[in-house]
Chain A
Amino acid sequence: MSTHQFFDLSSVIDEVHGLFDTWAEAGTLRPALDQDGEIVLRLAVHEWIANLVQHAAFVERAPEISLQVEVEDASVRVVVEDTSRGFDLLGQLEAQSTLLDAPAPSERGRGLLMLITCTHDLDYRPAREDRQRLSFRLANPGDGVFAGLFRSADFESLDLEPALLPLDDLVDGLPSDGFAFGDGSSPTSPSPSSR
């Protein structure tokens, strides 16, 4: 288990990516995650911290974000704690799901959906010392794990030749039986937030 703390909201994203760069070079997350798994974990943490930077209210306490990462056999366990007031995660997720069905959906608002669809056992709740605590596990991703983030109708508007699709080696590296999260059709329900 390694724990890292960040205090400056203007630089936390760059600092976190610097940390992931170090882990990638050192192979810290192997063999639990392969290269694609490392990329998705980095993206999941990025999306959550981006959410904190943009939307969280750090009022009573100075901003502080801690990131804990524990490498397990075939997944990585992540805990992110922060000193914000917290927010209504379930409400935000519902709003984002509604957004995707809009005739002209906004380019924003998919971050939490992306996070919840690529993780296992996601939980968000108040923690010690008036902190908020997000925890989840992440394993190597399955094909199309984020496919629901953009409208399928838009995908049907182009019929690309197979030769122009992404590299075959990426597809070959993914498990054929998909990515198991929850019941396979809906994300794990997070715990109620502090509000």
Chain B
Amino acid sequence: MSFTIQKTSPSAVVIRVGKALDFRNAAEFKAACQEHARQGVRYFVLDFSGTGILDSTGLGVIFSLYRQLTPAGGQVVFASVSRPVQVVVQLTRTYKVFRQFPTVDAAIQAQHASQSARPTGTA
């Protein structure tokens, strides 16, 4: 496991993906995300600042998380995307479903703004 998870609010987490998200740690990543989703987290910020490897299994797990969260109004967003991850996102065209932010702070602020705009807002 190279990722770490920080809960920034009852409905949001920041996951620092670390060096790699691939077939070796994808199952662990998925289990951790699902546990947080079960606890009510609906906004996942994936920090790719130090990520050199995002393979098909890693991206597949993220896509599954997105599919799980979207019906409940949740979001998976990317922050500080490294060049290797950017290339994968570009070539798979998954940028169409994963909103990107230049920094983790910008991603968190976007969630706060979104909540403020909603009278009964969750993420």
For residues 74 through 114 of chain A, which have their beta carbon under 8 Å from a beta carbon of chain B?
104, 106-111, 113-114
Measured CB to CB, the nearest residue on chain A to B91 is A146
Task: Determine the distance from Cα of A90 to Cα of B110 in the docked complex, in whole angstroms.
Answer: 45
Interface size in chain A (residues, C-beta < 8 A): 43
A155 touches B24 (CB 8 A): no
A46 touches B90 (CB 8 A): no
A167 touches B57 (CB 8 A): no
Measured CB to CB, the nearest residue on chain B to A46 is B55
A157 touches B23 (CB 8 A): no
Closest Cβ–Cβ distance, residue A9 to chain B (whole Å): 12
Measured CB to CB, the nearest residue on chain B to A111 is B56
The reply on B115 being an interface residue by CB < 8 A is no
Inside 8 A of B83's CB, which chain A residues have their CB?
35, 39
Inside 8 A of B56's CB, which chain A residues have their CB?
47, 110-111, 113-114, 149
Contact flag A146-B88 (CB < 8 Å), given A43-B55, A54-B23 = yes
Q: Top 5 closest A-B pairs, CB basis?
A: A107-B60, A110-B56, A155-B96, A146-B92, A146-B91
The residues of A with any CB-CB pair to B shorter than 8 Å are: 13, 17, 35-36, 39-40, 42-43, 46-47, 50, 53-54, 104, 106-111, 113-114, 118, 141, 143-147, 149-150, 154-158, 160, 164-167, 170-171
The residues of B with any CB-CB pair to A shorter than 8 Å are: 22-24, 26, 30, 52-53, 55-57, 59-61, 63-64, 66-67, 70, 81, 83-84, 86-97, 99-100
